[in-house]
């Protein structure tokens, strides 16, 4: 499948917008959102959605890295990974392999962003100097510069990824069958990292019953996700309303009652 | 001079400028540039004809600043209220800096650790089923809630002044506690659903009556507990993060190498 120049530009604009959205805090720099957009632009929404789901779960934990470090960027799977998944669907690349193949890009983009933040450090100096001159326009220009750099960087990454997708395609066709199968298997395992990272941050000792609750609801009961959320809400509210008198022991009681109900 | 007084609208406008807090993000002063930029229109209005005062006020606020961008309106509103009441710059700064940390904590735990993972997992599972509602729901829900947070915290800061922070963080704690219970339930449920590891190993067993039976290891594993392999693998990764403090790079490399190696050996599929 070839990508027209118009589609390249659209993907570039979409990537620029999504990356800038990371600074706006509007949650566009997420695999789920980006992949759906690329899917729409390339006319293959189902693959875009599937890629978005797999990538989102794999990268979910990276969004919460602590200590101000920049995590691998979801543009890897969200933009490049989705382009790979859609254009190379016929050559045996599934979303799992596309996720694994796109990881180096995610790391590369991470470095680009770190570099942008580092160079942007000069902006403060520019702003001070502008204020010394009472040049308030200059001040505002400096205060909005990072976002424009982000939009430009996003555009270049999206456009470049789409434009050279044929080169990418050739490169990937050299990959032997066992490797792409293996990468597909790895791709299905990668979400474990995202889940483990997020659980590492969220799951305190007193939340262990909820870990079990989620496992039971899916593995044994096969509930749909909404059902799991409602079930979790119900138990959370019970704990909340009884927190005053039951304390910690109540959490366990709820869990026992629930297991009896199966 | 009446026109120089800030109205409620100015506070709401400043609160909405929280979207621009990171427009000048850099490693030097983080959100410092953005903070000054957020206040800019309000300060311009206050010091309408006085470029000197505007210059001084902006320069004062270019210093290092870093907090959660959904909760920052609380600080800016408070800041503007104090400015209008001629609070000394020194006091304003100490309050600004004192609030920065706690609000970053509350905001991050609400937005990043509760809301985002919750809606992301729900959205991803809808997307997995081929529904465009997945990404749409994620995007709309996140932004609707966070927009409300911005406006509300901005108005709270405006109305209630400094003494609110204690009771606010108490309420936030309850909300974020409930949200993390729901979040943990959904996430651990989906972990076993999305991490897919099965084993294709089979062997031929000789039955007592001279018949042969093909035994699949996967069936035996399922009999012990459903989705046991994904649970064990996620547990292993969790252990490596929590106890061994592995970096994500090492984890990703381990996973990819394991996946390729075990699939070449036909141990997992």
Tokens of A142: 């400096």
The CA-to-CA distance between both ends of chain A, in Å, stands at 50
Class of residue A228 by CB neighbours under 10 A (exposed 0-12, middle 13-18, buried 19+) = buried
Class of residue A193 by CB neighbours under 10 A (exposed 0-12, middle 13-18, buried 19+) = buried
Asked if A104 reaches chain B (Cβ–Cβ under 8 Å), the answer is no
Q: Give the closest of A123, A143, A202 to B184, CB-based.
A: A202
Q: Give the closest of A189, A215, A240 to B233, CB-based.
A: A189
Contacts of B187 in chain A (CB under 8 A): 195, 198-199, 202, 214
Cα–Cα distance, B82 to B2 (Å, whole number): 17
Asked if B180 reaches chain A (Cβ–Cβ under 8 Å), the answer is yes
Tokens of B224: 């012990």
Chain B interface, best mutation among A228, A231, A238, by max B CB count within 10 A: A228
Flag residues of chain A having pLDDT under 70: 1, 61-70, 168-169, 171-173, 244-262
pLDDT of residue B232: 93
CA-nearest residue of chain A to B125? A53
Q: A 169-198 residues with CB below 8 A of B?
A: 178-179, 181-193, 195-198
Domains in chain B: boundaries: 2-193, 196-264
- What sections of A73-164 are H helices per DSSP? 75, 82-87, 95-119, 122-132, 136-143, 145-163
Tokens of B203: 């062997």
Contacts of B237 in chain A (CB under 8 A): 192-193, 196
Flag residues of chain B having pLDDT under 70: 1-3, 28, 98, 101, 161-173, 175-176, 248-249
* Binary contact (B189, A225; C-beta < 8 A): yes
Asked if A106 reaches chain B (Cβ–Cβ under 8 Å), the answer is no
pLDDT of residue A262: 31
pLDDT of residue A173: 67
- pTM of this prediction? 0.74
For B142-161, how does the pLDDT look when each residue is reduced to its tens digit (9 = 90+)? 999 999 999 999 998 888 76
Q: B 193-222 residues with CB below 8 A of A?
A: 193-197
CB A101, CB A81: distance < 8 Å = yes
For B5-58, how does the pLDDT look when each residue is reduced to its tens digit (9 = 90+)? 888 899 999 999 999 999 998 876 788 899 999 999 999 999 988 999 999 999
pLDDT of residue A66: 41
Which candidate, A2, A157, A182, places its Cα nearest to that of A93? Answer: A182
Chain B interface, best mutation among A26, A57, A66, A100, by max B CB count within 10 A: A57
pLDDT of residue B130: 92
Quick one: which H or E segment has residue B213?
A: strand B212-216
pLDDT of residue A257: 36
Q: Give the closest of B113, B185, B190 to A231, CB-based.
A: B185
Q: What angle do CA B193, B195, B196 make, to 5 degrees?
A: 95
Contacts of B59 in chain A (CB under 8 A): 128, 131
pLDDT of residue A169: 64
Q: What angle do CA B249, B186, A55 make, to 5 degrees?
A: 40
Q: Give the closest of B132, B146, B182 to A45, CB-based.
A: B132
Torsion of CA A96, A101, A105, A108, to 10 degrees: 120
CB A42, CB A165: distance < 8 Å = no
Q: Within 10 A of B257 (CB to CB), how many other CB atoms are there?
A: 12
Cα–Cα distance, B56 to B52 (Å, whole number): 6
């Amino acid at each position: 499948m070839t990508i027209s120049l118009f589609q390249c530009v659209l993907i570039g604009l979409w990537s620029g917008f999504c990356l800038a959205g990371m600074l706006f805090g509007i949650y566009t720099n997420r695999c789920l959102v980006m992949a759906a957009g690329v899917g729409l632009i390339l006319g293959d929404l189902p693959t875009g959605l599937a890629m978005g789901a797999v990538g989102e779960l794999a990268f979910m934990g990276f969004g919460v890295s602590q200590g101000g470090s920049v995590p691998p960027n979801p543009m890897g799977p969200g933009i490049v990974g989705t382009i790979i998944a859609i254009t190379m669907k016929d050559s045996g690349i599934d979303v799992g392999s596309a996720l694994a193949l796109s990881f180096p890009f995610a790391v590369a983009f991470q470095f680009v962003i770190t570099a942008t933040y580092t160079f942007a450090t000069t902006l403060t100096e520019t702003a001070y100097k502008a204020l010394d001159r009472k040049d308030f326009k200059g001040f505002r220009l400096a205060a909005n510069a990072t976002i424009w750099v982000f939009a430009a960087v996003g555009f270049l990454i999206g456009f470049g990824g789409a434009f050279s997708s044929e080169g990418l395609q050739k490169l990937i066709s050299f990959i032997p069958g066992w490797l792409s199968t293996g990468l597909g298997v790895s791709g299905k395992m990668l979400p474990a990292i995202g889940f483990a990272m997020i659980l590492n941050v969220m799951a305190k000792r007193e939340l262990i019953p909820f870990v079990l609750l989620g496992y039971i609801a899916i593995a044994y009961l096969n509930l749909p996700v909404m059902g799991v959320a409602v079930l979790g809400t119900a138990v959370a509210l019970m704990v909340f309303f009884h927190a005053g008198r039951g304390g910690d022991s109540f959490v366990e009681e709820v869990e026992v009652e629930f297991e009896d109900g199966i | 001079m009446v026109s120089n007084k800030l109205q409620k609208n100015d506070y709401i406008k400043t609160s909405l400028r929280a979207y621009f807090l990171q427009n000048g993000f850099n490693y030097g002063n983080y959100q410092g540039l953005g903070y000054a930029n957020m206040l800019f229109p309000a300060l311009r209005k206050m010091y309408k004809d006085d470029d000197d005062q505007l210059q001084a006020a902006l320069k004062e606020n270019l210093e290092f600043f870093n907090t959660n961008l959904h909760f920052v309106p609380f600080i800016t509103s408070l800041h503007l209220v104090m400015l209008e009441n001629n609070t000394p710059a020194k006091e304003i700064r100490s309050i600004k800096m004192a609030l920065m940390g706690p609000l970053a904590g509350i905001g991050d735990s609400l937005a990043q650790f509760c809301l985002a993972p919750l809606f992301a997992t729900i959205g991803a599972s809808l997307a997995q089923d081929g529904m465009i509602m997945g990404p749409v729901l994620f995007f709309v829900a996140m932004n609707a809630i966070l927009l409300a947070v911005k406006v509300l915290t901005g108005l709270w800061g405006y109305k209630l002044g400094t003494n609110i922070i204690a009771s606010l963080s108490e309420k936030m704690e309850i909300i974020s506690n409930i949200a993390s219970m729901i979040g943990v339930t959904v996430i651990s449920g989906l972990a076993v659903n999305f991490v897919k590891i099965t084993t294709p190993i089979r062997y031929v067993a000789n039955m007592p009556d001279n018949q042969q039976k093909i035994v699949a290891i996967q069936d035996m594993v399922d009999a012990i507990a459903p989705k046991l392999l994904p649970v064990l693998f996620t547990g292993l990764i969790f252990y490596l993060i929590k106890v061994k403090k592995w970096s994500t790079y090492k984890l990703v490399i381990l996973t990819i190498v394991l996946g390729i190696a075990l699939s070449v050996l036909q141990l997992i599929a």
